[in-house]
Structure 1
């Protein structure tokens, strides 16, 4: 198994952990904000996918956004009050799944040598996946805090892998 394939499995594990943090929540809980300058869990879910799309697009393959209307909403450079209304849970789920499929397709092409510069893109792809995995877990920390502290739900156990540990309280690839 190539390193890219191994990291894609860890990316899937990180996304599955995210799903454990939110899939059992009600739609109202997903869009609830602890205060006016705080983002909802749903925003973090869309933002995780938004960043994954833009990193893959900008570093490995130019392609259009799977949902251009979400780009401004999910951009962390946009102040909370200017982001607009969150999409439905179904639309967020579709966006996340579509981006993950694209991550797999593009990184699979890189791992399979089906790109113009396979060695160079393998290095880029490895670092890109590490960043995507750690970014997923970074936002999982906030989702988990709101889930447990504000919404009163139990947290799932940490992902079952030797490759992930905690740094400053955050799950990260070690």
Structure 2
């Protein structure tokens, strides 16, 4: 059986690293865009949660968006200039926290067998969580580059885990390490 609680801890570790990358920034730095066709750090924060919500919703449990007004703003299929204004840092934080809570609840239900087809969903959940973790780190790389190169802030140390390595410059979680 897959170790979903361990992967949930890796998901929390990835989210904590994201927080280390942005929580000390000013609201202006969070919404600043390096150029017209570039996304702000705040967009990446919302997009990470947006993807987590849609993956959980579409692969394991149909449920409404925690903030439907943000769906179009955080969808990478929409070109930057058509996404609309970013929400406040407080709203982004609440969105991220709500989605993370929902990920925990749904994966917890799967791990405990409180779902139809628990063995099948356990396999799905393992790959889903791995994708969510690696997606978080994928956008952390861009946040890191803007944080250091454009905003002049030092980077926090990489998170420590036996499951993490760098591939093509990106932190990557291997669920089978």
In the alignment, structure 1 residue 104 sits paired with structure 2 residue 104: yes
SS at match of 2:51: helix
Cα distance in 1 for residues equivalent to 2:17 and 2:31: 19
Q: Deviations over 1:20-63 (max 9, x none)?
A: 00000000000000000000000000000000000000000000
**1:120-135 alignment to 2 at 5 Å?**
120-135=120-135
Segments of 4+ moved more than 6 angstroms: none
TM-score, length-normalised on structure 2?
Answer: 0.97
Cα distance in 1 for residues equivalent to 2:3 and 2:110: 11
Q: Equivalent residue for 1:147?
A: 147
Q: Equivalent residue for 1:76?
A: 76
Following TM superposition, by how much is the alpha carbon of 1:160 offset from its aligned partner in structure 2, in angstroms?
Answer: 1.1
SS at match of 2:172: strand
Contact 2:45 2:96 in 1 (8 A): yes
**1:1-174 alignment to 2 at 5 Å?**
3-174=3-174
**How many pairs align?**
174
TM-score, length-normalised on structure 1?
Answer: 0.99
RMSD over aligned CA atoms reads: 0.9
